[in-house]
A and B are shown apart, each in its own frame.
Chain A
Amino acid sequence: MESNHQWPTWEVFTQKKQGAPHEHAGSVHAPDGEIALLNARDVYSRRQEGVNIWVVPSDAIIASSPEDAGAFFDPANDKMYRSPNFFKTADGLKQI
C-alpha cells in the first residue's frame, strides 16, 4: 500500500499549433519535471494534438474561489464599451 506516497501531479497545457495559445489538457503523475514532460507527451499527444507542451506542478496553480466570482467578475458586466461591438459604425464603412 502506498497511499499518500504517490508521485505528485502536474497540470498539462498543450499548444495545438504554432501561434495558438496553450490550453489545459489534463494532468499526469510524475516524479519530476522531465518525466512529467515525457508523460504529458505520451498521454496527451497520441493523436497529434500538439506542437508544444507545458507542465506545471498542480500545487503551483492558485485558483480563485467560487465565492470570489461576484467580486471578481461581475464588475465587468456594465462596461460593455470594452467590446468593439458596442460601437456602431456606418454601414459599408470598412473597419481598420
Chain B
Amino acid sequence: MMTDLNKALIDFCLRIADNSLIHAQRISEWTGHGPILEEDIAMSNVALDLIGQSRGFYTYAAQIEGDGKTEDFYAFRRGEREFRNKLMVEQPDNKDFGFTMMKLFLNGCFDYLMFRDLMKSTDETISGLAAKSIKEVTYHVRHAGDWIVRLGDGTEESHQRIQNSLNELWPYTNELFEQDSVDALLISNGIAFDKEKFRDEWTKMVHEIFAKATLPVPENNTYSPTGGLKGIHSEHLGYLLAEMQYLPRTYPDAVW
C-alpha cells in the first residue's frame, strides 16, 4: 500500500518531468529550422537538457511507483488528462524565435528558483536532480535573457514582436506558482518548498531583463489560463501528444 507521501512525491516528480518534456518537444521543433546555424545547435542543447531533466524525474517516479513503470511509460502511454505540465510550455511557437526565447526565459527563471530551493530537499534524489538541473537552467536563462535584450532593443520590428510575445505569455506566468495539497504535504516534510516565497525574486529577475530590453511589463491581468495541475490543458496538447506518442501507441508490443 503506497503512502500518501509517496503518492505526492510521484505527482511532484511527474509535474516537473512533464513540464520539461513538453517544453523540450516544442523547442526541438527548431532543430534544422533556426534563424542561424549557431542557434540550431544552441536550441538543440536546450532541448537535450530538458529531456535529460524529464528522464531523471520520470525515472525517480517509476522507482517509487514500482510496478514495472518506466520513463517511457510516463512519456508515451499517458493521455491528455494525465499530463501535468504548465499550459505555457505547450503553447505552439509557430517558428517565432522571440516567442520561444520568452517562454524559455519566463519558465527558466521559475525553474532556476525552484531548483535552487530543491537542492536543499531532504530527499536526496530530488536534491541531486536539482543540483544537476540548476546548472542547465542557469545557462538557459542567460541565453534566453541575452536574446530578449537584443530583440527588445534591436530593430523596431523586433521590439514589437518580442513585446507581443511577452504580452501573450505574461498571463500564463501566474500558473507557474500554483500549488495544492501535494505541495503542502511535501513542504511539511522538507522535501519541497513554498513557491510563493520566491515569487518576488522571480518578478525582480524578469523585470530586470525587461528593463534592459526596453520592454514594458504588461499590467497584471485578471485572466490567467490555468489547469495543468489538474490535467486540464489547452487544445494544443492533444496534437502534441498524438504526434509524440504515435509509434508506441500504434505498435504497443514493440521495443525500439
Q: Is the CB of A29 within 8 A of B38?
A: yes
Contact present for B143 and A29 (CB under 8 Å):
no
Interface assignment of A56: CB less than 8 Å from any CB of chain B:
no
Q: Is the CB–CB distance between A28 and B38 below 8 Å?
A: yes
Q: A30 to B42: give the CA distance in the assembly, Å.
A: 13
Flag if A39 contacts B38 (CB, 8 Å).
yes
A31-B150, A38-B142 given as contacts; is B42 within 8 A of A46 (CB)? no
The complex places the Cα of A46 from the Cα of B142 at a distance, in Å, of: 18
Whether, in the assembled complex, A51 has its beta carbon less than 8 Å from a beta carbon of chain B, the answer is no
Size of the B side of the interface (Cβ < 8 Å), in residues, is 11
Contact B146 A43 (CB under 8 A): no
* CB of B255 within 8 Å of the partner chain: no
Number of A residues near B (Cβ < 8 Å) is 13
Shortest C-beta distance, A48 to chain B (Å), equals 13
Evaluate contact between A34 and B146: CB separation under 8 angstroms. yes
User: A41 — which chain B residues lie within 8 A by C-beta?
Assistant: 139
B36 touches A7 (CB 8 A): yes
- 0 or 1 for each of B173-217: is its CB under 8 Å from A? (1 = yes): 000000000000000000000000000000000000000000000
A30 to B41, CA, bound (A): 13
Cβ contacts A34-57/B at 8 Å (1 or 0 each): 110011011100100000000000
Q: Which residues of B contact A35 (CB under 8 A)?
A: 146, 150
DSSP class of B's interface residues: helix, strand, loop or mixed?
A: helix
Please, which residues of chain A bring their CB within 8 A of the CB of B142?
Answer: 38
A36 to chain B: closest CB distance in Å?
A: 9
Residue among A30, A31, A38 with the highest chain B CB neighbour number at 10 A? A38
User: Does chain A have a CB within 8 A of B45?
Assistant: yes
Asked if A42 and B42 sit within 8 Å, CB to CB, the answer is: yes
**Is A38 touching B45 in the complex (CB atoms < 8 A)?**
no
Quick one: which of B36, B38, B41, B45 has the most chain A CB within 10 A?
B38
B45: chain A residues at CB < 8 Å are 42, 46
Cross-chain contact A43 with B38 (CB below 8 angstroms)? yes
Chain B residues contacting A38 (CB-CB under 8 Å) are 42, 142-143, 146
Does A43 lie within 8 Å of B41, measured CB to CB? yes
Q: List 19 A-B contacts (CB under 8 A).
A: A7-B36, A28-B38, A29-B38, A30-B38, A31-B150, A34-B146, A35-B146, A35-B150, A38-B142, A38-B143, A38-B146, A39-B38, A39-B41, A39-B42, A41-B139, A42-B41, A42-B42, A42-B45, A46-B45
* B residues lining the A interface (CB < 8 Å): 36-38, 41-42, 45, 139, 142-143, 146, 150
